[in-house]
Amino acid sequence: EVQLVESGGGLVQPGASLKLSCVASGFTFSDYWMSWVRQTPGKTMEWIGDIKYDGSYTNYAPSLKNRFTISRDNAKSTLYLQMSNVRSEDTATYYCTRDDSGFDYWGQGVMVTVSS
């Protein structure tokens, strides 16, 4: 059974950094592109970016490219999202997704709240 489990969220102050993790199981992690998607409290969905199966290539939403970094450790079947200089508008639920003909599997999501 495919499982994606995110962690690392919580309450963070504006300007701080935060690193989210997503542990994958039930499939060969190193065979798949992976993506991060976030959903705001108002339910707007936003694609953050993705990473190639071997970690050699990443794409980002232009508005987030300078502050967010996606990486992966295939030996640990883990996807990461490094968030820096966070802002109140980064408050959202963050989902890890497997990218196979669209986002065929999603994690349960992890909440990030940016507030002082």
Site of interaction with another protein (CB under 8 A): 35, 43-47, 59-62, 95, 101-104, 106-109
Q: 13 vs 81, which CB is nearer to another protein?
A: 81
**Least distance (Å) between residue 111 CB and another protein:** 13
Contacts made by residues 55-58, CB under 8 angstroms, sequence distance 24+: none
Identify which of 105, 109, 101, 103 has the alpha carbon closest to the alpha carbon of residue 20.
Answer: 109
Find, among 10, 7, 35, 37, the residue nearest to 20 by Cα. 7
Compare residues 43 and 115 and give the one whose CB is closer to another protein.
43
User: How far is 77 from 38, CA to CA, in rounded Å?
Assistant: 21
Between residues 15 and 26, which has the closer beta carbon with respect to another protein? 26
Minimum Å gap between C-beta 62 and another protein is 7
